[in-house]
Amino acid sequence: MQWRNDTKGYGLVAITLHWLLAAALLGLFWLGTWMVDLGYYHNWYHEAPSLHKSIGVLVVGLMLLRLLWRWSNPKPAALGKSPMQNFLAESAHLTFYLLVILLGLSGYFISSAEGEAISVFGLFSIPALPWQFEQQADIAGEVHEIIAWTLIALVLLHLAAALKHHFINQDKTLKRMLTISKGDIL
């Protein structure tokens, strides 16, 4: 089993991080849209935001790990037939990374608005910002929502591109993210 990427495909770590982040981000999006409509007396009124914050911190950590892994591993050769297609794919990936980090930061600003630390699964806490600004929760909340919806739109575009590659172009783009490369780098 190959852990690292090679020029032919992705290794176990990159594939695992990709799918873990995809599942966590979709789950966070669902949880976030669900929890904002909960009434004060709902059983999940306090639990859902706590879970959302904890998973959000985990996602930012996994994204930073994914970035480090990407920068320390060979990049599989592009399968696009045009330089423009390869540029768009690379731009989309970099935009994913940026949006996830900004989403986490805006969530941190929301949570820090009252000066409270963020408890991460009850295991440790991330201190609140040492300063707050006027309407911090409202402004950060708007930014958080805009970034979340933008990220979901990019996920749908990413999915459409992967399916296009698989069914129309009939290349190995999708298969490379579903199967571990059998190259010679360990």
Domain residue limits at 174: 12-178
* Residue 2 maps to a domain: no
Residue 119 burial (C-beta neighbours within 10 Å; 0-12, 13-18, 19+): middle
pLDDT in tens, 160-169: 999 999 999 8
Average pLDDT, the chain: 94
pTM score of the predicted model: 0.92
* Residue 6 maps to a domain: no
* Residue 186 maps to a domain: no
Structure tokens at 1: 């089993």
* Residue 1 maps to a domain: no
* Residue 32 maps to a domain: yes
Confidence of residue 185 (pLDDT cuts 50, 70, 90): very low
Residue-level pLDDT at 25: 98
Kindly state the average pLDDT of the residues 11-35.
Answer: 97
* Residue 4 maps to a domain: no
* Residue 92 maps to a domain: yes
Q: Total domain count for the chain?
A: 1
Residue-level pLDDT at 186: 40
pLDDT in tens, 104-122: 999 999 999 999 999 999 9
What CATH number does residue 33 fall under?
1.20.950
